[in-house]
Amino acid sequence: MSDDLIRLTATEAVTRLRRGEITPLDLIEAAAARIAAVEPAVNALPTLCLDRARDHARALMAGQKRDAEDEPGWLAGLPVSIKDLNDVAGVRTTYGSPIFRDHIPTSSHPLVERIEHKGGIVLAKSNTPEFGAGGSTFNEVFGRTHNPWNTALTCGGSTGGGAVSVATGEVWLAQGSDHGGSLRRPGTYCSVVGLRPSPGRVTRGTTNNLFSPLSVQGPMARNIPDLALFLDSMAGLCPRDPLTFDAPAISFVDALATARPPRRIAFTADFGGKLTVDRETREICAREVRRFEQAGCIVEESAPDLGALEDAFMVLRSQHFVVDRELQLQTHREQIKPDIVWNTERGLAQTPSRLAWAERERAAFYRRMVEMFDGYDIFITPGAHTPAFDVDLRFPPLVDGKKLDNYMAASTLNAAITLTSCPAVAVPCGFDRSGRPVGLQIVAPARQEARALAAAHLFEQITGLDKLLPIDPRPGTVPD
């Protein structure tokens, strides 16, 4: 019975919960059994809060905490994972940092409060790189999280634990965050779906970078309808985040049900050679994106000029780190990993003129994106520069034979979209010759999450790759 339950989609599980065919406690026990079975191989959910979850389940079953039962995104007692960057009241929350190794917050992050208000039950905290900085999920508190398709490989970062938790069936939905690809690269590496929403769609709550659009919160799932459901749970105005706005009048789930195929799609594998992307990844994505033509879509190779956006992103990201980490560097420098120190010190050394240049580059690229969307409904790129790499490495040493000089150099496909504030969905598109997942990044105009989800759902229906989940962790070796 527990194996049957973990194989339900989130949408199916919520439907059965609403009908009273199963209870939240049934799902908690099924998830607990699955976690015990697969966690030793993947290390995705290092902190469990099963008793807290059971208490929440009993309250829901007693008719309590159901004020949002008739609202879009009602989860009806579905267990979810929360990234270890977000506080959960009474549950150890470390941010992946030894500085906060024993931190237990007394209140929850506003997004956690919203998810629980919508009937979600927090079952566990998912592993993350230290302070969410990194393309591979590891930290000194909990160690490394492994890719379930091949446990010798990374699951990506920084929502790596979340991606693994849904891929293996430990939970049905996972909350995460994204700055330079932290929902999209783990989604690609683990063959699940992850959405980076437009800034303001989902509350960021307590961050010091409240007025920066770079880092956002968002959902991960095994398929697009489940992703839309979880986005409905998250979306909406929050008084604690000045960028947020009201949820749409038509829910994302309802919009998905009535969506039409995109008419014209622009695709690029590497922005006209401006970016280094693994050759096999380019070939797979270029071939698989043509599957849209089966639905009558026009697919053409086209992309806006990238300009100097790679450098601009690093300038703006480094300033973001100054806001977040400058004071901690003054008091806990020896406990902060070198990548964060490097990013923060780079920001501290920047001039106002350099920051102004980066803002102008970002604005110019956004205008070129707007012009592209005048002629295309959707823009698609590979989901990552390269498939998953050695779990013991911070970033891939080579991409298509080119050596990388920093841990963000393999994220520009994602980072470029970050700077546009456009929503982007990572959706699986196949596997390379070594069996590593490959995916697409599907981008829509700003605040048009429903359009991105609809295109991703169409592609998912054509490929059927979501039917491969959940999977049992598979041991393997690192490919050449």
Strand partners, 423: none
Write down the residue that tokens 């033509």 correspond to: 293
Distances (CA, A) of 351 to 318, 348, 406: 12, 8, 21
Q: Of 305, 457, 469, 285, which is closest to residue 372 (Cα–Cα)?
A: 305
Q: How far is CA 4 from the centre of its chain?
A: 26
81, 136, 182, 191: the catalytic one is 182
Can you spell out the DSSP letters for 176-211?
Answer: EEESSSTTHHHHHHHT-EEEEPPTTSB--TT-S-TT
Distances (CA, A) of 447 to 119, 153, 272, 424: 25, 34, 26, 10
Looking at residue 336, its amino acid is I
Catalytic annotation, pick one of 108, 136, 158, 165: 158
Tell me if residue 182 is catalytic. yes
Catalytic-residue membership of 83: yes
Catalytic residue status for 215 = no
Q: In this structure, what are the phi and psi dihedrals at residue 186, rounded to the nearest 5 degrees? A: -60, -35
Q: Where are the beta strands (DSSP E) in 45-106?
A: 47-48, 78-83
- Is 441 exposed, middle or buried, given 0-12, 13-18 or 19+ CB atoms closer than 10 A? buried
The residue annotated as part of the active site, out of 81, 83, 126, 318, is 83
Check: CB of residue 228 under 8 Å from CB of residue 252.
yes
User: Which residues does the annotation mark as catalytic?
Assistant: 83, 158, 182
